[in-house]
Structure 1
């Protein structure tokens, strides 16, 4: 199952750091989201962006996870030649992630 099947995302940026909040559509999917969407999985998903460090913050009252991804924006808005220097597309990229199968 794709992450987008159970959640939506919001993104932000500060310098070379991207911030992606992933929010479950249904609170019933929160346990799966919390268990499967790990820092390691997100770091591997964004490895080719140059991301150096991923930190995850859980917000269980909102059924959300917030990921702070350092080094993902090729220097940030004022230094990057990327078309998406703010990293707004990174939320959509994360939502395309295939979640591990639940046994």
Structure 2
């Protein structure tokens, strides 16, 4: 199953750091998400983009996680040559992971 079947996501940025949330539609799916979507899985999924560390922050009361990805935006908005300088499409890309 794809993540988008049981969760949605939003993305933010600050400098060269991308912040991607993963929020379960049903809180009952949170434990599955926590088990399957580890920082290591996210780092591997974004290996062509994320050059730094991936840190996961858990919000179990909300059925959500937040992944902070360092060195992820090609130097940041003002330096990147990427078409999506803010990394807003990274949330859609995350949701394409098979679990």
- TM-score over 0.5 for the pair: yes
Secondary structure, counterpart of 1:30 in structure 2: helix
5+ long unaligned stretches in structure 2: none
Structure-to-structure mapping, 1:1-103, within 5 angstroms = 1-99=1-99
5+ long unaligned stretches in structure 1: none
The CA RMSD measured in Å over matched residues stands at: 0.7
Query: What displacement does 1:70 show?
Result: 0.5
Q: TM-score by structure 2 length?
A: 0.97
Matched positions, count: 99
- Deviation per CA, 1:15-66, whole angstroms, max 9, x where unpaired? 0100001000001111101111100000000011143110000000110000
CA–CA distance in structure 2, aligned partners of residues 5 and 60 of structure 1:
19
